[in-house]
């Protein structure tokens, strides 16, 4: 029902499958009032809409027409339709004249694609007793809805809404309980008041404490989120669907949406974008129009801006530049900047979903970039890395650093106690923003060379790398710091060394270091033993193929310098690592297909290394650890374990004899 096509952070481009067609996500569902439909939203880009089943149920004329002709005919929309159960009216008026089972039966009767149980939306910042009481009813009704669907063999997809107000433990409890049910989608409810009051930091907490405890194989819907300025942030948190009547409600009030906020028509001297409306009309033209005509045109603009933003977000996910877009959007308002800064509290969770390599370079846009997954992952790798006795720390230069380093490296200061320098037993690293210390032997790996930062360093980034440098240096017997670093970071070092320091390039040492970083420490020695022959590109001089004699071990990917296994490389990696390291384990049904080189589907995976990320090179084995094949992961480990449909591994070669 839901498949992931591309990933970045927790954001995903996916396909939601319904009986009235497939929807590419992230997607916006414009709200259609069943009696007051103003414009044809499908004409302006809507693939899916949402309407209110309770309003139809309460209106005898609408109710009978929906029963006789169907919901899609009633609202003149032939694509997928989601219906709300009346929860919004319940939150506003305190009561509705319908039961949970009645609204479920009615939604099925009129042919809705995705129905919703009658949850209790609990406003933010209420008393805990109120939130607990409402949550108990919400969970009871969600269970009742799932049982109703099963007992009546209903095809309608079912929403189970996460509630819990602003109590994070209640959000977690609700998400865990709902995850045990067999629901099809998981909306996150009662967040509109947070957005209306600009409590975006609290919105991050509510969304993350819901989504972290929901399954990854379903779509998540942020209820009532319809302003384009929050879409990028919400998608990065893991939300797939949005709904709102903002496009028409704002138009009624002569307000135009944008990714930077909202414009009042009365204040506009210029139109804010290049959509058909903004290109054709001036603010004076709109102000001179009759109210209804003006409203419809502004609504068209609002839809255009919203759908354009979602297209941009999907493209950013394909490229791997979603966080750059999030950081850009969150600088549109101080409250959004608070939300961006709140993300660092969840960076360990984001790292589990973030691909190791991306098409787009890493752009440093401010101190918030220091807490991104790529930086956290690199620091974790460095802390795990076996240390040599000495450390030589160099200033940044042209990337890749190792390619442009030669000869005597300059003046060095002694950090800590002085000892006799042993260059053969020393790690050479560059100190740079945003990754801190970068070993020269792996500096071409993504994103250690594929990044850009301003030449004028901000104070936060300088303090960040200074702190990391000082903590990391404790692992070494002796540290030599280049004079430029001593001056830039104001380390206050005074004792210099007279020894001449040079960096000796070595292709095999470099390959071993990359293999250790990519597959685990010790894998380099196991992969690159024997008569190693390195073949380079005649055009670029970069390493391309690595052989033992004439037997191919690995290829090096030009775009990011990661190693691509061959059959021999897979055998060596398998022999040198313990189960389940670097492995995806398949059941007996899948064994013959893997041996034959066929792709591995998620439902056949029984276990996998928790450190696997999207696009990683992996070994495919059976439950006895027999090597069946090798390939590229299409999902992260946590998603492979969650999904029951779709491909998990794109197999390169099987070991069928």
94 Cβ contact partners less than 8 Å away, ≥ 6 residues apart:
none
180 Cβ contact partners less than 8 Å away, ≥ 6 residues apart:
none
Q: Do the strands 478-482 and 532-536 form a parallel or antiparallel pair, or are they unpaired?
A: unpaired
Is 84 catalytic? The answer is: yes
Query: Where are the alpha helices (H) located in 152-230, listed in sequence order?
Result: 168-179, 192-196, 200-211
Residue tagged active-site, from 47, 84, 205, 516 = 84
* Measured distance CA(12)–CA(22) in Å, rounded: 16
* Measured distance CA(562)–CA(426) in Å, rounded: 24
* Measured distance CA(163)–CA(120) in Å, rounded: 8
* Measured distance CA(96)–CA(87) in Å, rounded: 8
Say if CB 580 and CB 563 are below 8 A apart. no
Give the burial class of 113: count Cβ atoms within 10 A of its Cβ; 0-12 exposed, 13-18 middle, 19 or more buried.
buried
Per-residue buried b or exposed e for 270-304, using 16+ beta carbons within 10 Å of the residue's own CB:
ebbbebebbeebebeebeeeeeeebbebbbbbbbb
- DSSP track, 267-327: G-SS-SS-SHHHHH--HHHHHTS-HHHHHHHHHHHHHHHHHHHHHHHHHHHHHT-HHHHHH
283 Cβ contact partners less than 8 Å away, ≥ 6 residues apart:
265, 268, 269, 270, 271
Q: How many residues does the chain have?
A: 657
| Three-class SS state of 105 | helix
* Measured distance CA(334)–CA(201) in Å, rounded: 10
Q: Do the strands 362-363 and 451-452 form a parallel or antiparallel pair, or are they unpaired?
A: parallel
Say if CB 485 and CB 395 are below 8 A apart. yes
Q: List, by residue number, the catalytic residues.
A: 84
């Amino acid at each position: 029902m839901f498949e992931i096509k591309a990933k970045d952070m927790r954001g995903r481009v996916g396909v939601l499958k319904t009986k009235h067609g497939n929807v590419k996500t992230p997607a916006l569902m414009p709200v259609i009032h069943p009696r007051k439909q103003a414009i044809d939203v499908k004409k302006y880009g809507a693939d899916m809409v949402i309407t209110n089943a309770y309003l139809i149920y309460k209106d005898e004329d609408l109710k009978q027409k929906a029963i006789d002709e169907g919901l899609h005919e009633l609202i003149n929309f032939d694509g997928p339709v989601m219906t709300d159960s009346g929860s919004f009216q319940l939150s506003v008026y305190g009561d509705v004249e319908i039961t949970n089972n009645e609204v479920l039966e009615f939604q099925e009767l009129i042919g809705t694609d995705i129905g919703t149980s009658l949850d209790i939306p609990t406003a933010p910042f209420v008393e805990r007793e109120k939130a607990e009481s409402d949550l108990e009813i919400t969970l009871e009704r969600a269970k009742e809805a799932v049982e109703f669907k099963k007992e009546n063999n209903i095809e309608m997809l079912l929403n189970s809404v996460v509630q819990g107000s602003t109590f994070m433990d209640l959000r977690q409890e609700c998400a865990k309980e709902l995850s045990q049910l067999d629901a099809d989608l998981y909306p996150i409810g009662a967040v509109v008041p947070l957005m209306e009051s600009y409590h975006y930091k609290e919105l991050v907490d509510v969304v993350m404490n819901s989504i972290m405890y929901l399954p990854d194989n379903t779509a998540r819907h942020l209820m009532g989120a319809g302003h384009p300025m929050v879409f990028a942030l919400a998608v990065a948190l893991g939300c797939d669907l949005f709904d709102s009547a903002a496009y028409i409600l704002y138009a009624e009030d002569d307000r135009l949406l944008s990714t930077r906020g909202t414009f009042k028509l009365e204040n506009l001297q210029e139109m804010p974008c290049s959509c058909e409306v903004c290109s054709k009309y001036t603010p004076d033209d709109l102000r001179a129009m009759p109210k209804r005509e003006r409203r419809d045109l502004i609504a068209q603009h609002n839809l255009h801006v919203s759908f354009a933003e979602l297209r941009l977000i999907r493209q950013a996910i394909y490229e791997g530049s979603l966080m750059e877009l999030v950081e850009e959007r969150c600088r549109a308002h101080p409250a959004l900047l608070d939300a961006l800064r709140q993300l660092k509290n969840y960076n360990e969770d984001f790292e589990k979903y973030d691909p190791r390599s991306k098409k787009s370079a890493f752009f440093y846009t401010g101190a918030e970039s220091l807490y991104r997954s790529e930086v956290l992952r690199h620091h974790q790798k460095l802390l795990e890395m076996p240390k040599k006795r000495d450390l030589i720390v160099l200033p940044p230069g042209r990337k890749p650093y190792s390619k442009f380093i030669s000869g005597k490296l300059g003046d060095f200061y002694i950090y800590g106690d002085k000892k006799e320098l042993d260059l053969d037993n020393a790690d050479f690293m560059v100190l740079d923003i945003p990754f801190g210390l970068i070993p020269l032997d792996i500096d071409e790996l993504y994103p250690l060379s594929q990044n850009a930062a301003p030449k004028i360093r901000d104070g936060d980034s300088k303090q960040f790398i200074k702190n990391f440098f000082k903590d990391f240096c404790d692992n070494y017997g002796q540290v030599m710091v280049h004079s430029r670093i001593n001056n830039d970071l104001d380390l206050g070092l005074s004792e210099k060394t007279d020894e001449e320091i040079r960096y000796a390039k070595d292709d095999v040492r470099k390959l071993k270091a990359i293999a250790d970083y990519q597959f685990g420490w010790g894998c380099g020695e196991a992969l690159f033993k024997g008569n190693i022959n390195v073949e380079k590109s005649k055009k670029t001089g970069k390493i391309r193929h690595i052989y033992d004699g004439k037997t191919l071990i690995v290829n090096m990917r030009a775009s990011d310098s990661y190693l691509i296994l061959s059959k021999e490389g897979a055998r060596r990696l398998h022999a040198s690592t313990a189960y389940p390291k670097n492995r995806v384990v398949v059941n007996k049904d899948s064994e013959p297909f893997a041996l034959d080189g066929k792709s591995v589907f998620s439902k056949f995976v029984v276990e996998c290394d928790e450190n696997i990320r999207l696009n990683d090179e992996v070994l495919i084995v059976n439950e006895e650890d027999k090597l069946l094949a090798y390939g590229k992961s299409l999902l992260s480990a946590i998603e492979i374990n969650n999904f029951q449909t779709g491909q998990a591994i794109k197999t390169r070669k099987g070991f069928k004899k």
